Amino acid sequence: MNTASSQPDTIDIDHLCRLAHFDFTAEEKEKFRSNLSSIVGYVRKLADLDLDGIEPTQYGQPVVNAMRDDEVEASLPRDTVLANAPDASQTEFRMPRIVE
Amino acid sequence: MAEIDISALTVASAQEAMQRGDFSSEELVRATLAAIEERDGAIGAYLSVDADGALEAARESDRRRREGASGALLGVPVAMKDIFNVAGQPCTCASRILEGYVSPYDATVTARLKAAGAIMCGRVNMDEFAMGTSTEHSAFKVTQNPAAPGRVPGGSSGGSAAAVAGGMALASMGTDTGGSIRQPASFCGCVGLKPSYGRVSRYGITAFASSLDQAGPIAKNVRDAATLLGAIAGADPHDQTCLDRPVPDYGAALGGASLEGLHIGVPKEYFIEGTDPEVMSRVRAAIDRAAAAGARVEEISLPHTDCAIAVYYICATAEASANLARFDGIRYGRRRLGPDASLQSLYDRSRTEGFGAEVKRRILLGTYVLSSGYYDAYYVRALKARTLVRRDFDEAFAKVDAIFCPVAPTAAYPLGSTAGDPLKAYLGDAFTVPANLAGLCGISIPCGRTATDGLPVGLQILCPPFAEERLLAAASAMETALAQ
């Protein structure tokens, strides 16, 4: 595993594009790799902090198991939802075939 | 009907005038639409205007008023950042990927404003998906700063601030993930209020970073901001992070507000090299004014301020990379098929063509810090460092009632001046992101202009989570002190 205290990590832009679903030209890849490299170089300053024994903070306010009443509510009408779809049949979102 | 000058009215004064019968809501909305028509060509605050819907709602509110209804927002037009869902209106988040999208429902903020009688007159520009600090990352248009032509209005809620400052809205709604209400308010010379995390429901607001996002008003004065907060605050079964705490009468907190005895902390880390000396001197002068009005001013330290930007850009982009995964070209938004017409190419082409460069950059950064091998080194470290930022404020607020500091290291900068250097733009968030990381409430109020260019400067006031009454009282008293 890489640690933040080692030398700057290389940015594998092809791997990131696969994960994030982007399809860049070689030129775009180089631009974003270069941007990321400088930003990651900056945020690595956190490597200098002593964080032993510090609990992580995930939310602005600590909320544990917030519950609401289990009441049935009407969901949005199907036609309303499908109206925003780029491609739909009368009752479904249409998308490319994924099973041959 | 006498001509109604939107730039001379506030929410409160317009309400009084309508209550007196000086003009109707329909006349007020017509004047707002006329102001947009006349001025927005040069400013570019609005992305869309719903003239018919607004006039219909105005006639309805006039009818209700004749039947005896009243309320601080009854018949008052409000401009909405293009990130709030308003049923039947577009909601693009200033992104090509949502071009043509029409909201099927109201956000809770929208529903509450409507219930209070407010009128949705139009949608205002922003940085795409609220990612940016200049509104230059909108896919659709450039917004000029009405207080400083040729300069940015700030961001991401730049359209919200420009609409108010440009006399095209009495008030507007924005969102603040790392300063996106306070900084544009400061750049345009308005009041911008970021409520505590958990004070206002996020339901129906397109998510950027769910642990940081909060909605709040941009207005012409503290009283109007308090009125709008009162309308939108409070628990919501649709947002489990919106806390079930009573909503006080925020307007009442302003009555007779005084600085006498207020214990103000001034963090030394916010007055450092790199901050525009003119901004520092305006903010220092405002703090001196507070001291002269009876406040007790003490220098304090928030030692982890220097880490806040790094923590923020890891946490916010990590959350954004997950939140924006929903834009995949299947259920809504832009769809493009790749050459092989596969599902994979549909995802890739839709997202590559639909998102702008800043959004892609942040998704990639968030993907990087969450990816296998880097998660602990970046994301988990940032969450732990976030605890240190929060603790700094806990310790400070054990001693002081409120923190006074600059909103941003600079005043409004020229359009185009941060292009090509994203890190430089990120560093401008140094004084606003800590409040989001710690869940605080904060406000920006105008505290004068720079001597050289006459640019508005904002004073930022921060208070602990859910201390909005204290925050608004301090801001109101400062507003009075600065006007004298």
Instruction: Give me the residue spans of the domains in chain A.
Output: 9-50
Q: Are B101 and B123 in contact (CB under 8 A)?
A: no
Q: Would the CB atoms of A54 and B313 count as touching at under 8 Å?
A: no
Residue B256 has pLDDT above 90, yes or no: no
In this prediction, residue A68 carries a pLDDT of: 82
A33-78, pLDDT tens digit by residue?
A: 999 999 999 999 999 999 999 999 998 787 778 888 888 989 999 9
| Nearest residue of chain B to residue A92 (CA atoms) | B331
The Cβ of residue A10 has, within 10 Å, a number of other Cβ atoms equal to: 10
Cβ–Cβ under 8 Å, residues B203 and B193: no
* Mean pLDDT, all residues of chain B: 97
Q: What is the pLDDT of residues B425-451, one digit of tens each?
A: 899 999 999 999 999 999 999 999 999
Q: What is the pLDDT of residue A6?
A: 46
Mean predicted confidence (pLDDT) in B258-262: 97
Q: Span B197-214, mean pLDDT?
A: 97
Q: Chain B closest CA to A73's CA: distance in Å?
A: 11
| CB contact A10 to B (< 8 Å) | no
Of the pLDDT bands very low, low, confident and very high (cuts 50, 70, 90), residue A8 is: low
Q: How far is the CA of B27 from the CAs of B15, B68, B121, B252, in angstroms?
A: 13, 19, 13, 29
Residue bearing the bigger pLDDT, B123 or A1: B123
Buried b vs exposed e over A41-80: b needs ≥16 C-beta within 10 Å?
A: eebbebeebebeebeebeebbeeeeeeeeeeeeeeeeeee
CB contact under 8 A, A96 and B364: no
| Chain A to chain B Cβ contacts (< 8 Å) | 183
Contacts of B384 in chain A (CB under 8 A): 49, 51, 54-57
State the Cα–Cα distance between residues B378 and B233, nearest whole angstrom.
34
Model confidence pTM above 0.80: yes
pLDDT at position B419: 84
Residue A36 contacts B where some CB pair is shorter than 8 Å = yes
Window 344-403 of B, Cβ < 8 Å to A: 344-349, 351-352, 360-361, 363-365, 367-369, 371, 373-374, 376-378, 380-388, 390
Identify which of B181, B40, B192 has the alpha carbon closest to the alpha carbon of residue B123: B40
Residues 6 or more apart in contact with residue A84 via CB below 8 angstroms: B101, B102, B104, B331, B332, B333
Question: Token pair for residue A96?
Answer: 């490319």
Distance from CA of A21 to the nearest CA of B (A): 5
Nearest residue on chain A to B423, alpha-carbon basis:
A39
CB B219 within 8 A of CB B157: no
What pLDDT, in 10s, does the model give residues B368-380?
Answer: 999 999 999 999 9
Q: Write a three-state SS string for chain A.
A: CCCCCCCCCCCCHHHHHHHHCCCCCHHHHHHHHHHHHHHHHHHHHHHHCCCCCCCCCCCCCCCCCCCCCCCCCCCCCHHHHHCCCCCECCCCECCCCCCC
Token match 């007779």: residue? B256
Catalytic residue numbers of B, as ranges: 81, 156, 180
Confidence of residue A1 (pLDDT cuts 50, 70, 90): very low
Residue B341 predicted with pLDDT over 50: yes
pLDDT at A2: 43
- Per-residue confidence band for B244, with pLDDT thresholds at 50, 70 and 90: very high
Q: Which of A19, A57, A64 to mutate to test the interface with B (most CBs of B within 10 A)?
A: A57
The CA-based dihedral angle spanning residues B303, B427, B363, B330, taken in that order and rounded to the nearest 10 degrees: 110
CA distance A14 to A30: 10
A9-50 is a CATH 2.20.28 domain: no
pLDDT: is B206 or A66 the higher one? B206
| Model pLDDT for residues B83-109, shown as the tens digit of each residue | 999 999 999 999 999 999 999 999 999
Quote the minimal CA–CA distance from B90 to chain A in Å: 11
Q: How far is CA B38 from CA B31, B43, B52, in A?
A: 10, 10, 18
- Please enumerate in sequence order all residues whose Cβ is within 8 A of that of B289, keeping only pairs 6 or more positions apart, or say none: B478, B481, B482
Q: What percent of chain B has pLDDT over 70?
A: 100
Chain A interface disruption, residue of B378, B390, B432, most A CBs within 10 A: B378
SS3 per residue for chain B? CCCCCHHHCCHHHHHHHHHHCCCCHHHHHHHHHHHHHHHHHHHCCEEEECHHHHHHHHHHHHHHHHCCCCCCCCCCEEEEECCECCCCCECCCCCHHHCCCECCCCCHHHHHHHHCCCEEEEEECCCHHHCCCCCCCCCCCCCCCCCCCCECCCCCCHHHHHHHHCCCCCEEEEEECCCCCHHHHHHHCCEEEECCCCCECCCCECCCCCCCCEEEEEECCHHHHHHHHHHHECCECCECCCCCCCCCCCCHHHCCCCCCCCEEEEEHHHCCCCCCHHHHHHHHHHHHHHHHCCCEEEEECCCCHHHHHHHHHHHHHHHHHHHHHHCCCCCCCCCCCCCCCCHHHHHHHHHHHHCCHHHHHHHHHHHHHHCCCCHHHHHHHHHHHHHHHHHHHHHHHCCCCEEEEECCCCCCCECCCCCCCHHHHHHCCCCCHHHHHHCCEEEEEEEEECCCCCCEEEEEEEECCCCHHHHHHHHHHHHHHHHC
Domains and CATH numbers, chain B: 6-254 (3.90.1300.10)
| Tokens coding B146 | 């009405």
**Is B347–A21 a contact, with Cβ atoms under 8 angstroms apart?**
yes
Q: What are phi and psi of B216, to 5 degrees?
A: -165, 170
Query: What pLDDT was estimated at residue B255?
Result: 84
ipTM over 0.90: yes
Closest by CA to B431, choosing from B315, B313, B281, B271, is B271
Average pLDDT over residues B171-182: 98
What residues does B215 pair with on adjacent strands? B175
Question: A96, B422: Cβ pair inside 8 Å?
Answer: no
Predicted local confidence at residue A3, as pLDDT = 45
Does the pLDDT of residue B23 top 80, yes or no? Answer: yes
pLDDT in tens, B56-72: 999 999 999 999 999 99
| CB-side neighbour CA atoms (13 Å) of B346 | 19
> pLDDT for B272-321, tens place per residue?
888 999 999 999 999 999 999 999 999 999 999 999 999 999 999 999 99
